[in-house]
């Protein structure tokens, strides 16, 4: 089976690049090889490689910058996805696409299900929702994985920022009223591989949207606490200790883009298709955190 991976140098893309060879022949393309907004480069990749499945990990992910770069965010996350979805549909190719919890407004008390109404509160969420809608409108062979708070060993993310700040500050203020779970690219890749295997075996999952995240729930404050605990147990010297993290609320930490207060995703639908149990977020995050801390220590 031939797999075309787009966005191969992103936080998720790098993990997919490592995981996908176990299920097929992979052509991994970063944005310099295939720019999703360049229709000719997309067409060239499809025509020369002739994949069975396209895995689109390319996205505009700068949430705050999207507020002022609206055109660019929609160009990558919506317009380019619409073109890609149309082209794979014409060729009878499967499309695996990734979306976000930010397509919800965060006002629901419980975890969001795939069927819940969407209502993004920022431009990034609006652009990702438009991308979802484009895939659904254009395609008959697609899987959309919505995930939350992606933190991996590659690229920049919340955990790496916290470690850098903790190495030079006595105290840290971390938001404690946004609820969700960190999700590792490794877990997303594992689920993706499982879905591809099902397609290979002629037992493809039902076309549609699936929520993908570990079990449990926490806050950014909770993630920071666990991270610094792991760092301390790994003999990393930091200026900030776990007891010196101060909880703050979103209203006291204004950002360009508004964030949903509830990012919890109900994963019951996905669980029906998996041959393994989704891990608790602490177990999933521990592996990622150890990798990040190891690199941090080596610097």
Predicted confidence (pLDDT) per residue in 77-91, tens digit = 999 999 999 999 999
Please say if the pLDDT value at position 242 is more than 80: no
Confidence of residue 241 (pLDDT cuts 50, 70, 90): confident
The β-bridge partners of 209 are 144
How confident is the model over 95-110, as pLDDT tens digits? 999 999 999 999 999 9
Angle at 16 between CA 228 and CA 222, to 5 degrees: 20
How high is the pLDDT of residue 298?
57
Please say if the pLDDT value at position 299 is more than 90: no
Average the pLDDT over 153-165 and give the result: 93
Residue ranges of domains in the chain, CATH in brackets: 2-156+181-216+263-281 (3.40.50.720)
Average the pLDDT over 117-127 and give the result: 98
Matching residue, tokens 């203020």: 173
Sequence-ordered list of residues with C-beta below 8 angstroms from that of 91, at least 6 positions apart, any chain: 46
How high is the pLDDT of residue 202?
96
> From the centroid of its chain, how far is CA 290?
19
How confident is the model over 13-60, as pLDDT tens digits? 999 999 999 999 999 999 999 999 999 999 999 999 999 999 999 999
Active site residues: 124
Sequence-ordered list of residues with C-beta below 8 angstroms from that of 229, at least 6 positions apart, any chain: 242
Give the whole-angstrom CA distance, residue 57 versus residue 45: 15
Is-contact 253 175, C-beta < 8 A? yes
Which phi and psi (to 5°) does residue 34 adopt? -135, 105
């Amino acid at each position: 089976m031939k797999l075309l991976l787009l966005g191969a140098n992103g936080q998720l893309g790098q993990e997919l690049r490592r995981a996908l060879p176990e299920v097929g022949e992979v052509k991994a393309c970063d944005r310099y090889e295939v720019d999703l907004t360049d229709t000719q480069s997309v067409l060239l990749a499809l025509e020369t490689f002739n994949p069975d499945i396209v895995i689109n990990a390319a996205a505009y992910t700068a949430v705050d910058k999207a507020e002022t770069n609206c055109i660019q965010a929609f160009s990558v996350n919506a317009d380019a996805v619409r073109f890609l979805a149309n082209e794979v549909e014409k060729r009878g190719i499967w499309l695996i696409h990734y979306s976000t919890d930010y397509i919800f407004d965060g006002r629901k008390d419980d975890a969001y299900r795939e069927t819940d109404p969407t209502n993004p509160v920022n431009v990034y969420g609006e652009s990702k929702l438009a991308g979802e809608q484009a895939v659904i409108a254009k395609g008959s062979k697609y899987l959309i994985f919505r995930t939350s708070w992606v933190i991996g060993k590659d690229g920049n993310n919340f955990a790496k920022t916290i470690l850098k700040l903790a190495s030079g500050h006595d105290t840290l203020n971390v938001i404690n009223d946004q609820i969700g779970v960190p999700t590792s690219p490794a877990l997303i890749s594992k689920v993706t591989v499982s879905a591809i295997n099902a397609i290979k075996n002629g037992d493809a999952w039902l076309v549609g949207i699936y929520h993908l995240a570990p079990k449990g729930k926490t806050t950014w404050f909770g993630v920071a606490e666990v991270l610094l605990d792991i760092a301390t147990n790994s003999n990393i010297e930091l200026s900030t200790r776990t007891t010196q993290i101060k909880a703050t609320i979103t209203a006291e930490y204004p950002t360009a883009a508004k964030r949903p207060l509830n990012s919890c995703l109900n994963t019951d639908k996905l669980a029906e298709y998996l041959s393994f149990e989704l891990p608790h977020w602490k177990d999933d995050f521990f592996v990622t955190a150890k990798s990040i801390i190891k690199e941090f220590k080596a610097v």
